[in-house]
Chains A and B, each alone.
Chain A
Amino acid sequence: MAPRRRAGARGGALRRRALGWLAGHDRARAWALLAPGTLWLVAFFLVPVGIMAAYSVMERGTYGGVVPDFTLAAYARFFDPLYLRILARTIWLAVLTTTLCLVIGYPMAWAIAGAGRWKHALLLLVVVPFWTSFLVRTYAIMFLLRDTGLVNSALLSLGVIDTPLTLLFTPGAVLAGLVYGYLPFMILPIYASLDKLDPALLEAAESLGARPAARFLRVALPLSLPGVVAGSLLVFVPSLGAFLTPDLLGGARQVMIGNLVQQQFGAARDWPFGAAASFVLMGVVLAAVYAFLRRGAALPEEV
């Protein structure tokens, strides 16, 4: 820092004191810059989450709300097979979504990275839907999959089917919505890792006798794994917390944890259980983040 350097021109004890003061001053300035935003985040993120934590270990009130008596009953309730099934469905759907996004997204990322001068245009084609309204995109899927939607109309007019298929409000519809919603999150990190792959490495593999399959499996794929891990994290985590997709595309029968939380705070008026379900969800999310980050951090070092 410049002020420090200027102070450094003087000598001895004075200099040490000045440096100490300026270091303290620097810290004070840092806190002054951080303070407004941090206060906001504390007041409207940490405190509410803290209240939820507190509610999750309280008794439920009769008409919603809570009674401030400590109990773990809400968490115990989660072990009911009914709720465990919802948890399992949530994780299973998130796993399936991540897998499908990987299967679809990897070739897309590969094609973009190898598209030469079309690269940036194609990238934009992925980025734009990535930021456009999730609600609108979910509605677009509804519009396609409903009984009189384009998919059924097309199949009917082609004579493949006689009566419309029930596509909406099925696990498949939820899966389609999640994959459609989060696919760009998978493509972008894989693209980034493939794009910075040194072409000489692929040529080296070829000159050492690697056919295309070996060249891909032994060189390109392992070197793009950090992108795969990052992409999987970015798809898996929001899939776990999905609320809108199962709500619109899954209907009453394809409930995920997000919907369970909402029901408890809404119609069911069981705040402690809703709060506990939130924390189960948060626990799964944070565990997933931790696992993926560890894997991602460990990968490049792997020999």
Chain B
Amino acid sequence: MTAPSTPPPAVRFAAVRKRYGDTVAVDGVSFDVARGEFFSILGPSGCGKSTTLRLLAGFERPDEGEIHLNGDRIDGRRPWERPLAMVFQSYALFPHLSVERNVAFGLERRKLPRTEIETRVRRALELVRLDPGAFGRRSPRHLSGGQRQRVALARALVLEPPVLLLDEPLGALDQKLRKEMQVELRALNRQLGITFVYVTHDQEEALAMSDRVAVMTDGRLAQVGTPVEVYERPRTAFVAGFLGEANLLAGDDGARLAVRPEWMEILRPDTPLSSGAVARAGEVRDVVYLGERARAVVRLESGEDVVVALPPRSAAGGRGGWRPGDRAVVAWRPGDARALEEEP
């Protein structure tokens, strides 16, 4: 073999399958994660995303396929032989050990000298913005959810792993703390150059943080791409529907089309159309005001219901606003309608 000119990917899944009894949890999944990338696996619960992460961590062994880490095949190795670190959904902090000892746990397993462990533990706590003096000797049971999250992160980062696995790490935090941690995780990923593999069911979180998103359903990858790609050009009806909102319409040639509400325009019946636009007539069934945005549900003459974006003010009542029962024309540019692939 000749040496490749580019370094091997940080993570490579090649046709990995994992089944439990009759159910196939991961069904021939292949993807590459580049070094330093923030890579999210997104999907509903039971789609196989957690199993994928557990296969990578080594808690499960694949039935078929290969898993590589920085060019080394690792699917035969036990979890403790893999140079990875993981942040668990429940944080999995050791309740019988202090914050310091939790963070030191991995370093102690590597038999590093005492002084080096102490230095690195302190640095790791500072990295996640926990004061080592104030928190080091505390028990994790006496910490808030956000603080536990940071300890779990420090415990993984202190090992300086090439790849960090995160299993829905923000799931247990409240909305505000989540947003803060999203920004911090993204910053840590950039600052440390560590590859992040991040599992979540929250599409907004995945879009906000990731370099690339893998959308997973029924054990398969439906689409892998940048947030813009997967949102703007969903390949399947599942991707279109799981990431944001999408209207699924029958095209002229029988193909299925996806059009997002904000790509559509709602007009009064007598308004002139811009040239080339596709227009369908219908009746407003419902108007929903959501603060920074608004939606109208329009029943087309074909019988299909579509959801259309409105300027929020025009849904707020008052003159010129839309009301249920209004006749309307829904229009979009043909280029915005995405033809969908059939799902397997």
Asked if the two chains touch in their complex, CB atoms less than 8 Å apart, one says yes
Task: Name A residues whose Cβ lies closer than 8 Å to a Cβ of B.
Answer: 198, 200-201, 203-211, 214, 218-219, 222-223, 300-303
In chain B, positions 102-128 with a C-beta closer than 8 Å to chain A are: 105-106, 109-110
- Knowing A207-B84, A210-B109, A303-B139 are in contact, say whether A223-B79 is a contact too (CB < 8 A): no
User: Are B79's CB and A300's CB within 8 A?
Assistant: no
Residues in B whose Cβ lies below 8 Å from that of A200: 88-90, 92
- Knowing A206-B78, A206-B79, A211-B80 are in contact, say whether A198-B92 is a contact too (CB < 8 A): yes
Kindly list the 9 A-B residue pairs having the minimum CB-CB distance in the complex, ordered from nearest.
A208-B106, A204-B92, A206-B79, A209-B109, A200-B92, A207-B86, A303-B98, A222-B96, A209-B80
Partner among B98, B106, B165 whose Cβ is within 8 Å of the Cβ of A209: B106
- Knowing A204-B88, A206-B78, A207-B57 are in contact, say whether A302-B96 is a contact too (CB < 8 A): yes
**Using an 8 Å CB-CB cutoff, how does the interface string of B123-161 with A read, 1 for contact, 0 for none?**
000000000000001010000000000000001100100
Given contacts A206-B79, A208-B105, 7 further A-B contacts (CB under 8 A): A201-B92, A201-B94, A203-B88, A204-B94, A207-B58, A207-B59, A211-B80
Q: How far is the CA of A303 from the CA of B59 in the complex (A)?
A: 28
Partner among A198, A209, A301, A303 whose Cβ is within 8 Å of the Cβ of B97: A303
Q: How far is the CA of A222 from the CA of B105 in the complex (A)?
A: 14
B95 within 8 A of A: yes
CB distance from B86 to the nearest CB of A (A): 4
B239 within 8 A of A: no
Q: How far is the CA of A209 from the CA of B155 in the complex (A)?
A: 12
Residues in A whose Cβ lies below 8 Å from that of B89: 200
User: Are A206's CB and B92's CB within 8 A?
Assistant: no
CB distance from A216 to the nearest CB of B (A): 13
User: Are A223's CB and B85's CB within 8 A?
Assistant: no
User: Are A204's CB and B109's CB within 8 A?
Assistant: no
Partner among A198, A211, A214, A222 whose Cβ is within 8 Å of the Cβ of B90: A198
> Which single residue of chain B is at the shortest CB-CB distance from A219?
B94
CB distance from B6 to the nearest CB of A (A): 28
Q: How far is the CA of A19 from the CA of B233 in the complex (A)?
A: 70
Q: How far is the CA of A207 from the CA of B76 in the complex (A)?
A: 15
Residues in B whose Cβ lies below 8 Å from that of A201: 92, 94
> Which single residue of chain A is at the shortest CB-CB distance from B85?
A207
Q: How far is the CA of A211 from the CA of B105 in the complex (A)?
A: 12
Q: How far is the CA of A207 from the CA of B101 in the complex (A)?
A: 16
Q: How far is the CA of A302 from the CA of B95 in the complex (A)?
A: 9
Residues in B whose Cβ lies below 8 Å from that of A211: 80, 109
Q: How far is the CA of A200 from the CA of B82 in the complex (A)?
A: 17
Q: How far is the CA of A279 from the CA of B156 in the complex (A)?
A: 56
In chain B, positions 147-192 with a C-beta closer than 8 Å to chain A are: 155-156, 159, 165
Residues in A whose Cβ lies below 8 Å from that of B101: 303
Q: How far is the CA of A203 from the CA of B54 in the complex (A)?
A: 10
- Knowing A200-B90, A201-B92 are in contact, say whether A210-B97 is a contact too (CB < 8 A): no
